[in-house]
């Protein structure tokens, strides 16, 4: 059987970017989809597109940073689909960390979405998976989670926390026949990254290519995927660089950081 065919998959952050691309590819493969995001008009549009392709999809509007909304939305999707095989916790946000002013509210929102939001999603599916004795939990993290960077302290912290949380869950759920995967992409062309200058995003990849790579990793139940290899290698090298050099390289970025077009 083709991977995805007949499987029940819930995807968060499914209205744009990587989430949308994953949803469309899995729909073509015959998966039944439950989609979550904040903007109903975009969710409705992708569900209509999936139905046009002959696929089956449901959606619920929820802000992943809000626990109650997330639990209700995912619970309703599980009921609509009659179960769940795979959770893809893809929803994420990003914005620079500034020091004058020190934008604490922005850091709080990133941690709530990128870390706590994933935890809420896992809470929403875990008992169903444990009861059925099978399942797969996938979190879309980032290569940025492997190094604290000036001007990106909040974002890198949220992803580092996610990486270690998923690692612990992977080991804990191993004997329960629930597989856990952490996906760490580099720069992907999405609405979140469009405010950045492309020259500051080496080896930028389109969302459709990234989705294809991610789905293959999910299929083989990869523990951790870092891609593309060039950016992964670059981040490993950065980990050995002295602080003064990293500060100098990122000085221009921090003098005029690219802020999101809409509030987080």
Asked if the model's pLDDT at residue 194 lies above 90, the reply is no
Rounded to a whole number of angstroms, the CA Rg of the chain reads: 18
Distance CA 124, CA 34 (A): 13
Under the banding of pLDDT at 50, 70 and 90, the label for residue 199 is confident
Q: Has residue 222 been placed in a domain?
A: yes
Q: Has residue 17 been placed in a domain?
A: yes
Q: Has residue 48 been placed in a domain?
A: yes
Q: Has residue 262 been placed in a domain?
A: no
pTM higher than 0.85, yes or no?
A: yes
Structural domain span for residue 71 = 8-255
Q: Has residue 159 been placed in a domain?
A: yes
> Which pLDDT score is estimated for 264?
86
For the chain, how many structural domains are there in total? 1
Least confident of 84-88, 126-130, 166-170, 259-263: 259-263
Q: Has residue 72 been placed in a domain?
A: yes
Question: Tens of pLDDT along 50-82?
Answer: 999 889 999 999 999 999 999 999 999 999 999
Active centre residues (catalytic): 155
> Which pLDDT score is estimated for 115?
98
Q: Has residue 1 been placed in a domain?
A: no
Asked if the model's pLDDT at residue 195 lies above 80, the reply is yes
Q: Has residue 79 been placed in a domain?
A: yes
Of the chain, the percentage scoring pLDDT greater than 90 comes to 92
Under the banding of pLDDT at 50, 70 and 90, the label for residue 22 is very high
Q: What is the CATH number of the domain that holds 174?
A: 3.40.50.720
In terms of DSSP H, where are the helices of the chain?
Answer: 17-28, 40-52, 67-81, 104-111, 117-132, 153-173, 207-219, 229-238, 243-249, 251-255
Tokens found for residue 50: 């999936």
């Amino acid at each position: 059987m083709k991977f995805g065919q007949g499987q029940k998959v819930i995807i968060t952050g499914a209205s744009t970017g990587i989430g949308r691309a994953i949803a469309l590819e899995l729909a073509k493969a015959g998966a039944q989809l439950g989609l979550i995001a904040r903007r109903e008009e975009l969710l409705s549009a992708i569900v209509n597109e999936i139905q046009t392709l002959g696929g089956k999809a449901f959606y619920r509007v929820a802000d992943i940073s809000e626990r109650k909304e997330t639990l209700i939305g995912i619970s309703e999707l599980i009921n609509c689909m009659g179960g769940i095989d795979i959770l893809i916790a893809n929803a994420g946000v990003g914005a620079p960390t500034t020091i004058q002013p020190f934008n604490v509210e922005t850091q709080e929102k990133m941690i709530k979405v990128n870390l706590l939001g994933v935890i809420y999603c896992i809470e929403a599916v875990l008992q169903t998976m444990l009861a059925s004795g099978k399942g797969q939990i996938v979190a879309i993290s980032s290569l940025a989670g492997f190094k604290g960077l000036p001007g990106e302290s909040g974002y890198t912290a949220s992803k580092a926390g996610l990486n270690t949380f998923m690692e612990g869950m992977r080991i804990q759920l191993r004997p329960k026949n629930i597989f856990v995967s952490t996906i760490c992409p580099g720069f992907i062309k999405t609405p979140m990254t469009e405010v950045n200058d492309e020259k500051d995003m080496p080896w930028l990849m389109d969302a459709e290519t990234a989705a294809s790579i991610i789905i293959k990793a999910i299929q083989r139940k990869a523990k951790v995927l870092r891609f593309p290899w060039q950016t992964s290698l670059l981040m490993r090298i950065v980990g050995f660089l002295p602080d003064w050099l990293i500060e100098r390289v990122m000085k221009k970025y921090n003098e005029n950081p690219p802020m999101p077009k809409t509030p987080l």
